[in-house]
Amino acid sequence: FSTSVVLFLLANFLPNYSAINKQIIYTKIMVLALVMNIILNLLLIPKYSYIGASVAAVIPQFLQSLLLFLLVKNFYKNAIY
């Protein structure tokens, strides 16, 4: 359930980054989350099985959402209208 909520929230950030011509930032954050997910999977799955897999999936998605939100918020706060 929590993964669906996070993915729903992430879908709202891409149009913002496209509108401010910062798609490369979005891509870099996605790659960072991917690498973090792979590392956490390698560390957590052998020891914690499916619980480790679920934690390894949720943590990078949460941090990814947080980073994307903060960067968009910071850009619009500093924007000149």
- pLDDT tens for 34-75 read 999 999 999 999 999 999 999 999 999 889 889 988 888 887
**How far apart (Å, rounded) are the C-alpha atoms in residues 44 and 73?**
33
> What global pTM score does this model have?
0.74
CA 69 to chain centre: 9
> Do 32 and 68 form a contact (C-beta atoms < 8 A)?
no
The residue that leads in pLDDT, 24 or 17, is: 24
End-to-end alpha carbon distance in the chain: 38
> Do 10 and 72 form a contact (C-beta atoms < 8 A)?
no
pLDDT value of residue 15: 72
Span 10-28, average pLDDT: 75
